[in-house]
């Protein structure tokens, strides 16, 4: 008789479709945030324009771009995806506020990324955070 051990799976509470959905969201978010972070660090015209609304030095752009890259890399590891996605959700909350108060343009893309980040966090939440 073949036995399966739930402790061998990192997230035994997830069904197969939930695991697949989590991975699809994680990979998509990783690509998006790596691209966005890289554009801030290399200083694309759009990134410089957006951060010019803050009248800030380039260091803030580098800091946020680096933060996006570090968090995006965490999404590639299921055991780190929860913390990475929560940090990205917080960053997107700030981006939404910035778009509403300072930056021209709508906050919809940041809101969509916030929703994706929160969904990843929900799927990858530690088992001790779930109801017994």
pLDDT of residue 57: 80
What does the alpha-carbon distance between residue 119 and residue 112 come to, in Å, rounded to a whole number? 11
pLDDT of residue 27: 98
pLDDT of residue 130: 66
pLDDT of residue 7: 41
What's the DSSP call for residue 3? -
pLDDT of residue 33: 98
pLDDT of residue 131: 67
Q: What is the pLDDT along the chain (132 residues), one digit of tens a residue?
A: 454 444 435 666 788 999 999 999 999 999 999 999 999 999 999 999 888 887 668 899 999 999 999 999 999 999 999 999 999 999 999 999 998 988 877 899 999 999 999 999 999 998 777 664
- For the chain, give percent helix, strand, coil, nearest 5: 75, 0, 25
What does the alpha-carbon distance between residue 22 and residue 12 come to, in Å, rounded to a whole number? 13
């Amino acid at each position: 008789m073949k036995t399966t051990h739930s402790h061998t799976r990192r997230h035994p509470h997830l069904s197969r479709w939930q695991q697949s959905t989590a991975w699809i969201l994680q990979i998509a978010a990783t690509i998006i945030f790596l691209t966005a972070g890289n554009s801030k660090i290399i200083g694309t015209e759009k990134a410089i324009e957006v951060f010019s609304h803050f009248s800030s030095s380039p260091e803030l752009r580098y800091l946020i771009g680096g933060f996006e890259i570090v968090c995006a890399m965490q999404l590639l590891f299921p055991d780190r995806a929860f913390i990475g996605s929560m940090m990205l959700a917080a960053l997107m909350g700030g981006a939404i506020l910035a778009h509403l108060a300072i930056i021209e343009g709508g906050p919809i893309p940041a809101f969509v990324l916030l929703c994706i980040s929160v969904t990843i966090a929900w799927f990858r939440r530690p088992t001790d955070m779930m109801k017994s």
